[in-house]
Amino acid sequence: MSEGLTTQRPENIVVHSPAMPSAPVAVVDALNSLLEAQQNSIIRFMGEGSPYLSRATAEVRRPLAEMLRNNVRRRRELHDLIEYLGGYPLPARLQPEEQYLAFLSLKFLLPKLVDAKRLVIQRYENAERAIGPDSPEADDLLRRHLAEHRAELAVLEKAAADVIAAK
């Protein structure tokens, strides 16, 4: 970028600044790790046409659909931030073993979603500690995402308990 160029920041915030310095490699690596976790999240199988959601109650369907939308948004925000910081977002990889998920019940999958959410929270906490003050933009985004993940964990834990208790 040239001196004094207006740049587009994540969350559609436009800033006017001198040439953007590249972020430390560790910051971009940590963000790419979180992007990969979001891309590989099992929640992406909970879309509108999902057989899991068609068998679930509205109390379970609604938060899962919201979590799917949040996952898509968080992936986009991480992707945009990595690019903004001068890095290259890693593309999603295919996971062949996921073809078998279609044969599993929601009763089986909800505890898996809880475990996966706990793991992603742990990854975010580790990334937040690793990045520290090296990137204020990344720190703000990680804190926001972490709060969302914690709220979603509480919803998943309740849904899992309700589904298990109902059967």
| pTM higher than the cut 0.85 | no
11 domain residue, yes or no:
no
6 domain residue, yes or no:
no
Helix (H, G, I), strand (E, B) or coil at 167: coil
72 domain residue, yes or no:
yes
8 domain residue, yes or no:
no
Question: Taken in order 128, 131, 132, 135, is the CA torsion positive or negative?
Answer: negative
Q: What is the CATH number of the domain that holds 84?
A: 1.20.1260.10
4 domain residue, yes or no:
no
Instruction: Provide the pLDDT for residue 16.
Output: 34
Instruction: Provide the pLDDT for residue 12.
Output: 43
AA letter at 100: Y
What percent of the chain is modeled with pLDDT above 70?
Answer: 74
Per-residue pLDDT at 37 exceeds 70? yes
14 domain residue, yes or no:
no
The residue range of the domain holding 28 is 21-166
Instruction: Provide the pLDDT for residue 95.
Output: 63
**What Rg do the C-alpha atoms of the chain give, in angstroms?**
18
Residue found by looking up tokens 């587009």 in the block = 8
Contacts of residue 42, Cβ cutoff 8 Å, sequence gap at least 6:
101, 109, 112, 113, 116
Query: Residue 91 and residue 27: Cα distance in Å, rounded?
Result: 17
9 domain residue, yes or no:
no
Q: How do strand 6-9 and strand 13-16 relate by DSSP bridges?
A: antiparallel
The number of distinct structural domains making up the chain is: 1
Token readout for 87 is 């890095």
Residue found by looking up tokens 């899991």 in the block = 52
pLDDT in tens, 42-81: 887 776 666 666 667 778 888 888 999 999 999 999 999 9
Instruction: Provide the pLDDT for residue 100.
Output: 60
115 domain residue, yes or no:
yes
